[in-house]
Structures are given as C-alpha cells and as structure tokens.
C-alpha cells in the first residue's frame, strides 16, 4: 500500500528536499540577523539586575519577575509542544506529522513572535528587551498557529506550514496589539486573540484549500487504539496546565491566583457535560474518544478572557457547563455540517474546541466586564483591573472579539490563497493523513493497518 505513489507516480510532487531546507535555513538566518540587531535582555535578565534591584526599594532576588512567572511559563511550554502535539496524534498514520510538524512550527514561530510582539510592544527604545513574560507571549502567539494547524492536519506540506506560521504570527501580533493596546480590551487567557483568531485563521485556510476528493484518503482518517491513548497525553497536559495558561501573564498576586482558580473550575465542569452529551449522542450510551479528547478542554478556552475577573467560582462552573455541551454537540452536528455545506474540512474539529468556545469566551468577558461593580472588586481593585469604566470596558471587549474574527477570517483567506499555489509540495487527495509522504517510516507494517484495510 505504501510506496504506491513512488511506483506509479502521483499527480502531485511531494518532494521537499530543496524547498524545506531552503526555507528553514533562510528563515533561521534571518532570525539571527534580526535578533542581532534588535533583541537584548531586559533589566531583570541582564547582569545589570544587581544594580537595578538596589535602586528599586531594595528588591529581593525573589521579586525578579522570573520567580512569578517561570513555573507558569514551563506549563504553557508543555501545553504548546506536548499538549498540542500529542492531541493531534490521534490519526492512525499521522502521529509523526502531528507531533513533529507541531514541533517545527512552534520552534520557528516563537522566534518570529518574539520579534513581531517585541516591535509592537517595546518600540520606544529601538531595542526589544526580553524576559520571561516575552517567552510566554511568544508561546501564546504560536499557540494560535498550532490551533490553525489542527484544521489542515494531514493535508498540507511542512513548507506550507512554515509559510502559514510566518503569516499567522505576523497577523497575530497586529491583531493582539489592536485588541490589547489600541482598544484596551483585557484578554488574559486569549479567548479572543489566541483561540478565536487562531481558529478562524485555520478554518478560513481550510476553506480555501478545500479538497473535494478527500474521501480518497478516508482509510487513514480514523484512529487506532493506541493512537487514541497517545492523544490523551495531549488532552491531559492541556487540561492540567490550562490554569497556568490563563494565569501566566495576569497581574502579580491575586490576579494570577484567581485566574488559576477560575480555569480549574471551568475545566472540571466541562468534563461532566462533555461526557454526558457524548454518551447521549451514541447508541447504547458509549463514549466517543474524540469528544473526551477535545470537548473537555472547551471550558479552558471559554474562561480565558474573563479568567482574571471576579467571575466567581460558580460563574466559572457555568461557563464550563455550557461549553462542554456546545463543543460536544459541535463534533456531532457542526463538523459534518461545515464540511458538507460550507466546504470547510476541519480535521481536528478546531471549530468546536477553539472557535465556538473562544467566541463564548469573548462574550463572557464583555458581559462580566460590563457588569463589574465597586462592591465586588473594591475601589482599588476595580481601578487596577480595568482601564476604563465597566460599561465602556464591556463595549471594548466586544469590539476586541470582532477584531479577532475579522483578522482571522480575512488573514486566513489571504494566506490560504497563497498556499493554494502549486509550488509547496502538498500531498495528493489520496495521499493525505499519511506520514509516509514526508517521513521515513520503517518498513514494518502494523497489523492494525492490515486488518483495517
């Protein structure tokens, strides 16, 4: 079965022996040059810290921002590389591509994100001064591209993925700057800027790259027993570390503390409703691994924007409750609908995990910001949380959500059009979801394949 394409010749040339190395080298060299010109350590990661801390009310070393954020950073880092990577290993013959290309995209994306975000956020000095918070933001930025990867998993070449990431990071940085610094919306966990943007971007690309004959690869579009267990590694690390994701860049002290609690609760609630709907949707009440792997995470997405707010523990539970239902129903009804009616082929169901919950998250954020009162927040707390009066803040939040959607869809269509050019070495329709195309796969054939075909 494998090697068929080698012997008989395919309509598409998937040889990337020159393209992929060329792109990797050119971009990495560009990164080195740009980092050389622009990037330096900031005052907390520079050897001048020893002088700096004396000038600031005699800080202790432990008050270096590193100790506030590094544990959260590491959790986010695990989510990006292990979480997203393994979540996508569920396909029976695309585990190398899932975890390997995820690795490649993320490693490239974080470098470009440090530059793009740096240019927008520390423009005054002419230099980008980096510290642990920048690393977290770079990971966040790349997260949106990995979400987009979920929509096109198995249908694109690594060269396309690198182009998609370059453009995605660029769009993200602009989008995020507008949402956070122009509109002054709050978005601690990135429901809008990361999830909604990333999902819209990926779905729009998938729409442009629509493959009418994709059912020729249908034999590979499922899981085997062990690939589903691998995917659970991704699910669990995402689920577990989501409190760190949503709290990583919150304000010191109660902000990070509260964001972690809210996310913990929202996620717990999501699991129960995902299981309930999954069981309801199937004959004999059997559970579907796809739902357990994905929908259980929707609460974390949806509580992102409002994670730092005084959402209250029961508020977090309600958000999770609704998202578990909506996300699971999405897998049952919306994904087939999108493919049949809108011609959007969404391999991992990112619409259900990131797009719909992300939009809900944006709405929850707008409502809870608009409803904030001095009674709940305290006068100092309210002033510290929002840069404007609550009602106005609510409006700005809603505007931020719209920006994310517009950037995602618009950017996705533009980038998708570029990726449609026949120069990127993407696989033929009967060759999708197959690691054999871009990876050396040992000659052994799993019996699972023999039996399944």
The residue among 128, 133, 131 whose CA lies nearest residue 116 is 128
CB atoms near residue 402 (< 10 Å): 14
CB atoms near residue 379 (< 10 Å): 9
Q: How far is the CB of 258 from its own copies (least distance, A)?
A: 5
Contact range with its own copies by CB under 8 A, out of 193-201, 210-218, 412-420, 431-439: 431-439
56 near its own copies, judged by CB under 8 A: no
Residues 101-130 contacting its own copies, CB under 8 A: 103-104, 107-108, 110-111, 130
**Residue with smaller CB distance to its own copies, 228 or 430:** 228
Beta partners for 41? 130
Residues 377-416 contacting its own copies, CB under 8 A: 377-378, 380-382, 384-385
Q: How far is the CB of 12 from its own copies (least distance, A)?
A: 12
Residues 131-190 contacting its own copies, CB under 8 A: 131-132, 135, 158
CB 71, CB 132: distance < 8 Å:
no
**Angle between helix 225-247 and 65-78 (nearest 10):** 160
Residues 10-39 contacting its own copies, CB under 8 A: 14-21, 24-25, 27-29, 31-33, 35-36, 39
Q: How far is the CB of 179 from its own copies (least distance, A)?
A: 22
**Residue with smaller CB distance to its own copies, 187 or 204:** 187
Both tokens of 336, joined, read 């087939």
**Residue with smaller CB distance to its own copies, 196 or 296:** 296
> What 8-state DSSP symbol labels residue 250?
S
55 near its own copies, judged by CB under 8 A: no
List alpha helices for 80-217, DSSP H.
Answer: 84-87, 95-121, 132-152, 158-177, 197-208
443 near its own copies, judged by CB under 8 A: yes
CB 117, CB 134: distance < 8 Å:
yes
Residue count of the chain = 453
3-class DSSP state of 41: strand
Residues 319-338 contacting its own copies, CB under 8 A: 321
Distance from C-alpha of 340 to C-alpha of 335, rounded to nearest angstrom:
9
**Residue with smaller CB distance to its own copies, 76 or 183:** 76
Q: How far is the CB of 397 from its own copies (least distance, A)?
A: 18
Distance from C-alpha of 22 to C-alpha of 424, rounded to nearest angstrom:
12
**Residue with smaller CB distance to its own copies, 242 or 407:** 242
Residues 339-378 contacting its own copies, CB under 8 A: 376-378
Burial class (CB in 10 A: 0-12, 13-18, 19+), 120: middle
226 near its own copies, judged by CB under 8 A: yes
49 near its own copies, judged by CB under 8 A: yes
Residues 253-312 contacting its own copies, CB under 8 A: 253-254, 256-258, 260-261, 264-265, 267-273, 275-277, 279-280, 282-289, 292, 296, 310, 312
3-class DSSP state of 214: helix
């Amino acid at each position: 079965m494998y090697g068929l394409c080698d012997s008989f010749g395919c309509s598409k040339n998937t040889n990337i022996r020159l393209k992929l190395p060329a792109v990797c080298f050119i971009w990495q060299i560009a990164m080195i040059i740009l980092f050389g010109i622009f990037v330096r350590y900031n005052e907390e990661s520079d050897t001048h810290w020893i002088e700096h801390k004396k000038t600031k009310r005699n800080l202790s070393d432990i008050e270096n921002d590193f100790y506030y954020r590094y544990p959260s950073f590491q959790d986010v880092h695990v989510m990006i590389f292990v979480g997203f990577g393994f979540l996508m290993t569920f396909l029976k013959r695309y585990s190398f591509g899932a975890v390997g290309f995820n690795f490649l995209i993320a490693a490239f994306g974080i470098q470009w994100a440090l530059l793009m975000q740096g240019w927008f956020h520390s423009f005054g000095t002419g230099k980008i001064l980096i510290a642990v918070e920048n690393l977290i933001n770079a990971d966040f930025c790349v997260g949106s591209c990995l979400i987009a990867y979920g929509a096109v998993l198995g249908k694109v070449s690594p060269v396309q993925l690198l182009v998609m990431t370059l453009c995605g990071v660029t769009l993200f940085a602009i989008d995020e700057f507008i949402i956070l610094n122009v509109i002054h919306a709050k978005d601690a966990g990135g429901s809008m800027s990361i999830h909604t943007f990333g999902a819209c971007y990926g779905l729009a690309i998938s729409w442009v790259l629509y493959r009418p004959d994709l059912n020729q690869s249908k034999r590979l579009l499922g899981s085997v027993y062990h690939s589903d267990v691998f995917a659970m590694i991704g699910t669990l690390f995402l689920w577990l570390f989501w409190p760190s994701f949503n709290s990583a860049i919150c304000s010191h002290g109660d902000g990070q503390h509260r964001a972690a609690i809210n996310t913990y609760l929202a996620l717990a609630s999501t699991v129960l409703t995902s299981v309930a709907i999954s069981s309801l949707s199937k004959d004999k009440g059997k559970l579907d691994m796809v739902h357990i792997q994905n929908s259980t995470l929707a609460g974390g997405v949806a509580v992102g924007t409002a994670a730092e707010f005084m959402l209250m523990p029961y508020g977090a539970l309600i958000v999770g409750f609704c998202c578990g239902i909506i996300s699971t129903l999405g897998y049952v009804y919306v994904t087939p609908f999108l493919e049949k009616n809108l011609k959007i082929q969404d391999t991992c169901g990112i619409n259900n995990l990131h797009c719909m919950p992300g939009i809900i998250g944006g709405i929850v954020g707008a409502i809870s910001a608009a409803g904030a009162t001095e009674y709940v927040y305290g006068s100092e707390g309210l002033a510290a949380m929002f840069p404007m009066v609550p009602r106005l803040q609510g409006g700005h939040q809603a505007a931020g959500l719209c920006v994310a959607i517009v950037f995602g869809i618009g950017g996705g269509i533009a980038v998708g059009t570029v990726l449609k050019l026949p120069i990127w070495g993407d696989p033929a329709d009967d060759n999708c979801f197959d690691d054999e195309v871009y990876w050396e796969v040992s000659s052994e054939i799993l019996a699972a394949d023999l039996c399944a075909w």
